[in-house]
Amino acid sequence: MKTILVTGGAGFIGSNFIRYMLSKYKDYKIINLDKLTYAGNLENLKDVEDNPNYTFIKGDICDKELVEEIFSQDIDYVVNFAAESHVDRSIMDPEIFVKTNVLGTVTLLNAAKKAWEEGDSFKEGKKFLQVSTDEVYGSLGETGYFTETTPLDPHSPYSSSKAAADLIVKAYYDTYKMPVNITRCSNNYGPYQFPEKLIPLMINNCLNKKPLPVYGDGLNVRDWLYVEDHCKAIDLVLHKGRIGEIYNIGGNNEKTNIEIVKLIVAYIHDNVDPTVDESLITYVADRKGHDRRYAIDATKIKEELGWYPETKFEEGIKKTIEWYLKNREWLKNVTSGEYQKYYERMYSNR
Ligand SMILES: Cc1cn([C@H]2C[C@H](O)[C@@H](COP(=O)(O)OP(=O)(O)O[C@H]3O[C@H](C)C(=O)[C@H](O)[C@H]3O)O2)c(=O)[nH]c1=O
């Protein structure tokens, strides 16, 4: 029996992780601490809300009192998903990214340290897992891959805040020998992703026959990872990762943005609405400081823990689009109200 504190569990990756863990470990307790920002949604966990092993707490990881109170329970693992994660929003409004991503991480680390310390060391079997991103490494040219030893060179306020948090986590290992791991994943896709990110945004716009805004020349490259494969990797690192280590988690699946958009258009055209076609694609002003290419070398996690991305992209993207088609009500709910204002602000002057 283990108790895991999952932060940001009502978000995209966090909710997929909670679902995965509850179904795999019937005797694990999961506490989900989530602030329920615009991107966190309890609808994402409707199917598990009555599970006796699952508890939800609404709150901010920056709230020291609340976090310390949660640690009055015997927490074995922390998996810190809670983060402001959208690069474009970080360009418009950096402050909240530093607050949640950096200060929030330190608040969690401090509470875990206080609860787990035993004399000069830490109680057995505890771990703090920081979920990070390949964006901390910066941008690649046409060749090469990020390894765990690639120097940090973040460019956006978002990636800089994540790099700062990674360094704080590392400092707690270097200084206090706190049991930590850092994972750095590539671009995730799959069910429950908020439609500010490329794939669900394009699906939603196709379904509403709205222009498909492609930044710059559309040739930026991302390495796409199916969210369930990411959850499996985190589970492995949590249980078997060597203390103090960083693990890259990549999809081994590089695609240009325009390839992704055309693929979504073709799927919707062929399966849903034949009037949706590539004429919806609209090239718009580029993202400021837009990283050109991300590509991950995931040799370490494969060799040490036997993990590799199992889901082929063709299969994953099909499952993803079909999930959005089956969950149009969810899509409609998350894109009403505030989302419209965000969309106007983000795209009207591009
Ligand atoms: C929303 C949008 C995006 N794009 C481009 C910009 C990027 O080159 C690519 C993917 O953008 P997105 O914002 O979905 O994701 P990234 O900026 O690569 O970052 C994502 O993957 C990493 C790992 C994280 O850590 C971030 O949290 C996560 O948001 O599509 C467009 O061309 N048009 C659009 O409307």
Residue 324 lies in a domain: no
In ligand 1, the atom with minimum distance to the C-alpha of 85 is 27
Confidence category of residue 350, pLDDT binned at 50, 70, 90:
confident
The C-alpha atoms of residue 338 and residue 350 are separated, in whole angstroms, by 19
Q: Which candidate, 282, 186, 259, 183, places its Cα nearest to that of 226?
A: 186
Rounded distance from Cα 270 to ligand 1 centre (Å): 25
H helix runs in 85-156, sequence order = 87-92, 95-98, 104-116
Q: Whose CA is nearest to atom 8 of ligand 1?
A: 220
Residue 199: predicted pLDDT: 98
Residue 333 lies in a domain: no
Mean pLDDT of 143-157: 98
ipTM comes to 0.99
Residue 143 lies in a domain: yes
Rounded distance from Cα 107 to ligand 1 centre (Å): 28
Q: Whose CA is nearest to atom 22 of ligand 1?
A: 187
In ligand 1, the atom with minimum distance to the C-alpha of 260 is 30
- Model confidence at 249: pLDDT above 90: yes
What's the domain count of the chain? Answer: 1
Tell me: the pLDDT tens digits for 22-53?
A: 999 999 999 999 999 999 999 999 999 999 99
Do residues 104 and 76 lie in contact, with contact meaning Cβ atoms separated by under 8 Å? no
Active site amino acids: 134-135, 158
Rounded distance from Cα 198 to ligand 1 centre (Å): 6
Residue 16: predicted pLDDT: 98
Mean pLDDT of 263-274: 98
Residue 33 lies in a domain: yes
Residue 260 lies in a domain: no
287 lines ligand 1 (CB under 6 A): yes
Q: Which candidate, 166, 307, 186, 188, places its Cα nearest to that of 238?
A: 307
Tell me: the pLDDT tens digits for 112-136?
A: 999 999 999 999 999 999 999 999 9
Do residues 268 and 207 lie in contact, with contact meaning Cβ atoms separated by under 8 Å? yes
Confidence category of residue 200, pLDDT binned at 50, 70, 90:
very high
- Model confidence at 349: pLDDT above 90: no
- Model confidence at 150: pLDDT above 90: yes
Residue 129 lies in a domain: yes
Residue 31 lies in a domain: yes
Rounded distance from Cα 85 to ligand 1 centre (Å): 10
- Model confidence at 337: pLDDT above 90: no
Residue 274 lies in a domain: no
Residue 133: predicted pLDDT: 98
Q: Whose CA is nearest to atom 11 of ligand 1?
A: 198
Mean pLDDT of 315-336: 97
Which range marks the domain in which residue 24 is found?
3-192+223-254+289-312
- Model confidence at 330: pLDDT above 90: yes
Residue 149: predicted pLDDT: 98
Question: In CATH, what number is assigned to the domain containing residue 80?
Answer: 3.40.50.720
In ligand 1, the atom with minimum distance to the C-alpha of 87 is 17
